[in-house]
Structure 1
Amino acid sequence: MDLSSHKYFTTLDYVIFALLLMASLSIGLYYAFTGGRQSTTREFLFADRSMKCLPLSLSLMATFQSAVAIIGTPAEVYANGTQYWFIGCAYILGLLIPAHIFIPLFYRLHLNSVYQYLELRFSKAVRICGTVTFIFQMVIYMGVGIYTPALALHSVTGFHLWGTILATGLVCTLYTALGGLKAVIWTDVFQTVVMFTGQLAVIIVGVQQAGGLSEVWIKVRDGGRISGIDLNPDPTVRHTFWTLGVGGVFLMLSLYGVNQAQVQRYLSSRTEREAVLSCYMVFPCLQVALMLSCVMGLVMYACYGDRSPLDQQYITSKDQMVLYFVMDMLQDLPGLPGLFVACLFSASLSTISSAFNSLATVTMVDLIKPHCSMTDARATLISKMLALSYGIICLAMAYVVHLMNSSVLQAALSIFGMVGGPLLGLFCLGIFFPCANSIGAVTGLAAGLIMAFWVGIGGFLDRMSSSVKVPPLNSTNTTTAVSDNITMTAATAIFEAANEKTSRALGLHGLYSLSYMWYSALNSFTVVLIGLIISLMTGPTKGNGVASGTVYPVVGKAQSLLQKLQKPSSCCRSPHENKIDGGKEMNVNVKEDTGTPEDRETFLPLNPVSYLEQETSV
């Protein structure tokens, strides 16, 4: 790699990047010293339950629009075409289902942590298992999320690696610990604007460098980067319409349906209607973010064609391609490289700050407060210290990731996706299957996690074994080289033969080759299936044993829908009607034309669960 050809940051780029960090910190300081000054857990953890749908929707989008996605999606489109774009189809069901099932259920139960639901529906043991699994998931991702963009930036701009990690981590920790969820949400809004602006600036300049829109289209079309709909049903194919459009639904549900970082935002809204609207508004935001990332990949191909910077050995990893492209295209426009790097780190800040806040919430609400009696002021102070502590853990995890090689780094990213599937299956088991009991829930979660790590790690090792290559002979020491190569060849042959024989004998080769987009679906179904079997074996939960409002009446809803289809006039019935929930009849007083979903089409009781009121005053 010719380092002399590199263009590094100018003074203006450094100024723009520093302004981003200072602006994010200023928002945190503003909310730390205004309003209620984050003096209560209600304000610190739930933004005083006063947020509107627009900032919520932008925050929901920014939470998982990480720097890994911003630098990974364009590189994927550059290398393999626009097939990945079809994941946008998964956004439809992936957001409609949470909007109409998960959000109303969680909101009407007046939860503070999504894992409180697991205790209401099953038992305290299930709640603790779910909480610990979530903490494990997010702690791993925090280190990866902050290290990956820092490493790529260090490789192509000359930024000091640990200086970048410390600056990002400390700024993010401070504004989260000082300003609470309200600061996190509003910095997400600011950072989303920066993200879109930075990506759009790079695309515009890249199109000009490539010769205009028509020239970009001709180059990507002739280069075969415009993909049609691949309807291949083979689940081992990495990206098809089915893996992205169907398998992606389960990934979206695990992120936007049951993840604490997202549910906490729903619960911070003023009304249930605002929460549902924010979920609807995430859809266009995600589509715009996906479009910008994919278009950037196409523009990159139009500029470089098949002469990839990776093939030319200007970079050492495809994750560095986007930043190399930015520094190459914008080298004569001081300030714009700094703007895009600000865009990249905006994504990183929004993701990490959301992780800090959600981890502090579940630790306080699920692990500390149920066992310790304390004042609200003391609980708020401990919550702030927890957010600060998780920030330090994030930096420690970044160091651990630094000790790993790139393949292990990819494995760590896969673990984040794999853990979300079992958690989704656990919530689906409780919400849709009234007969499930706590023994089945714990066993199902354990089975789902075992399946996740078995398939994920097994597939990773299977791919590694297939890529083992014999090193070339060392001409400086022929005798030793020949001996080493013979030994290596024999060992590799034995290992590959044994691995292939075992995999084929057990029928595991196809399972290990499963597309990563199906991991969440496979793990979710494993939890539900094993959970139901164990529940039936140990004695299913009876209708009167299910807490009111914790089960979605699938059968009742289906019957109601059929009746409406058969008798269209039935939609004009009186709003005062009896509905069945868990075998019990309850009266639901529905007001006319209030404009709030909680007063229309209610399937849960509107009275809060008294146990939750006793547990916390938030």
Structure 2
Amino acid sequence: MTLAMADWLVLLAYLLVVLGIGFYFSRRNTSTEEYFVGGRRFRGWVIGLSLVGTSISSITFLAYPADAFKTDWLRYLPNLALLPAMLVAAFVFLPFFRRGNMTSAYEFLEMRYGPSVRVYGAIAFLVAQLVRLAMILWLLSLLIQQVTGLSPQAAIVMGGLFVGLYTVIGGIDAVIWTDVLQTVILLLGGVVCLWVIVDALPGGLGQIWRDGSQAGKFALAPWQDGAPGATSWRLSLSEKTATMMLLIGLTNWLTEYSSNQNTVQRYCASRSTREARRGLWVYLFTALPVWAFYMFLGTALWVFFQSHPDSTASAILDGRERAEALMPHFITAYLPAGVAGLVIAAALAAAMSSLDSSINSVTTVGVVDLYRRHLRPGRDDRHYLKVAWAMAVAVTAAMIAGALWLNSADTKTLQDTATILVSLLGGGMLGLYLLGFLTRRGNARAAWAGIALTLVFTGWTVLTNKGLLPEALSAPFDLYYTGLIGNLLMFLVGYLVARYWPSARAASGQS
């Protein structure tokens, strides 16, 4: 990719602003309370926009347009379950985390089930986030390579060090405010892309609606043989119906807003429960349109390339090129100087907003749930702040090392390994939290019984997916529903064990 001077100036300005935010907030970080939750003073609109920046990541910028370009809007369907999930999060989950001046999502697990379950939840989160950090940094490095011509190793190290620098020195303040900035940049970049497309089409915006509708590109149905199939609303564990897609979305969103430290830390950083709840509404009414916009951008690109035939676009449609190459190709080949720099900044923002949040949340969980709680309790706050800085540096190093390994490894092997680890350790986490939120039953024994059986269940589905079991012993359902079934299993087993095999001690988290 050859960038004009205007593009480099736009990119440089963006990076300097992000770095400046990190250095500005570094002056405030004199306590762990400031470093982890920003003194608990953030307003709702800031929390909401930072949640958008954390959740949209590179998937929104690259995968959503690519999916709508190749197929239709079926993948948008699970996002519609965000509305009921937000209602549950705002009025059921949020009050629990706002009590007792919590900092970590896993403090609740100790209050409810005991310290051993808290450690399990923290370790499951750390493993999942470290894998996620390595994969996102590797994806970010691909864009850096394309823009700068650096080697893969140099791109990974430079990208990781830059994100790590402003995150380590700035703490949660820098993470939240850079996420707000990155959300705005991401939106602006997408709008610029759509403007270029509409300006190049003879029929403008109306042509996108007309041609896309005629081709079925707005359908919420499986894409088959170049056209949308029939939309089914049946309940089924053997096929991906619209109803099941919504249930999967609901499960994923409830998990995100009950047990993910990236989210819970925003609850805790809000100045009040009211502001935290307002942040959830800002997130809801920002994220849903943003996701829809980027799906629409993918449809617009399909219409654009129908009018302006392109060999790369054709290769993506027929499967000879990866769909995720669509946006980088469009940026490179069709955007004018200066505009390309802005859109590349948006792509960088999409990845960086996920990386900085995960580095900070991993650091918080490592210090609060493991180091301060079990390894070195009772030390002064300055000691824990120094440990937090050191741990953030270590997480950055681990992220870079993981991305470097990924660059030299078989990506399919790493993806499989990551999926297995995250599925095994994180399976059933929503069920565990729901048991604590919705009932008074359950203690460490019940929780561990649910965890053990969920691990066995998830391991069974992994073996099925690998084809390592005979047909008679394989899972008789679509493995897409592993998480949904696993959470139900966790809740039911925990509840039944608590009811029919109660321990001698009260189920109050004292076990």
TM-score by length of 2: 0.89
Deviation readout 1:545-590 (Å, 9 max, x if unpaired): 4269xxxxxxxxxxxxxxxxxxxxxxxxxxxxxxxxxxxxxxxxxx
Residue in 1 that maps onto 2:434: 428
Residue in 2 that maps onto 1:342: 345
2:400 aligned with 1:395 = yes
2:159 aligned with 1:168 = yes
1:359–1:390 contact (8 Å) kept in structure 2: yes
2:445–2:503 contact (8 Å) kept in structure 1: no
Further displaced range: 295-304 or 420-429:
420-429
Instruction: Output aligned runs, 1:465-504, within 5 Å.
Output: 502-503=470-471
Residue in 2 that maps onto 1:237: 239
Instruction: Give the Å deviation of 1:87.
Output: 2.5
1:310–1:317 contact (8 Å) kept in structure 2: no
Instruction: Give the Å deviation of 1:41.
Output: 0.6
Instruction: Name the CA distance, whole Å, in 1 between partners of 2:121 and 2:168.
Output: 24
Instruction: Give the Å deviation of 1:9.
Output: 2.1
Residue in 2 that maps onto 1:506: 473
Instruction: Give the Å deviation of 1:181.
Output: 0.5
Q: Specify every segment of 5 or more residues in structure 2 that has no aligned partner in the other structure, as ranges.
A: 222-230
Instruction: Name the CA distance, whole Å, in 2 between partners of 1:158 and 1:125.
Output: 48
**Which residue of the other structure, out of 444, 447, 466, is the alignment partner of 1:441?**
447
- The percent of aligned pairs where both chains have the same amino acid is 25
Instruction: Give the Å deviation of 1:54.
Output: 0.8
Residue in 2 that maps onto 1:21: 15
The alignment partner of 1:301 has SS state of helix
Instruction: Name the CA distance, whole Å, in 1 between partners of 2:436 and 2:365.
Output: 19
Instruction: Give the Å deviation of 1:343.
Output: 0.7
> Which structure has more RCO (C-alpha within 8 Å, separation ≥ 6)?
2
Instruction: Name the CA distance, whole Å, in 2 between partners of 1:204 and 1:403.
Output: 39
Residue in 2 that maps onto 1:352: 355
Q: Specify every segment of 5 or more residues in structure 1 that has no aligned partner in the other structure, as ranges.
A: 1-6, 463-498, 549-618
Instruction: Name the CA distance, whole Å, in 2 between partners of 1:220 and 1:192.
Output: 27
Residue in 2 that maps onto 1:125: 116
Instruction: Name the CA distance, whole Å, in 1 between partners of 2:244 and 2:146.
Output: 33
Q: Structure 1 counterpart of 2:431, which letter?
A: G
More helix by share: 2
Q: Structure 2 counterpart of 1:149, which letter?
A: L
Instruction: Give the Å deviation of 1:514.
Output: 3.2
Instruction: Give the Å deviation of 1:456.
Output: 4.7
Residue in 2 that maps onto 1:327: 332
Deviation readout 1:441-494 (Å, 9 max, x if unpaired): 1232233244335425633x35xxxxxxxxxxxxxxxxxxxxxxxxxxxxxxxx
Give the number of equivalent residue pairs: 492
The alignment partner of 1:108 has SS state of helix
2:77–2:220 contact (8 Å) kept in structure 1: no
Residue in 2 that maps onto 1:248: 249
Instruction: Output aligned runs, 1:134-533, within 5 Å.
Output: 134-151=125-142, 154=145, 158=149, 160-211=151-202, 212-228=204-220, 230-233=231-234, 234-238=236-240, 240-305=241-306, 309=312, 311-312=314-315, 316-330=321-335, 333-371=336-374, 372=376, 373-411=378-416, 414=419, 418=423, 420-456=426-462, 458-459=464-465, 461=466, 502-503=470-471, 505-506=472-473, 508=475, 510-511=476-477, 513-515=478-480, 518-533=481-496
The alignment partner of 1:312 has SS state of helix
Greater Rg by CA? 1
Residue in 2 that maps onto 1:483: none
The alignment partner of 2:101 has SS state of coil
2:43 aligned with 1:64 = no
Root-mean-square deviation over aligned CA pairs = 2.5
Instruction: Name the CA distance, whole Å, in 1 between partners of 2:177 and 2:39.
Output: 14
Instruction: Name the CA distance, whole Å, in 2 between partners of 1:117 and 1:140.
Output: 24
Cα 1:399–1:231 shift into 2, 3 Å:
same
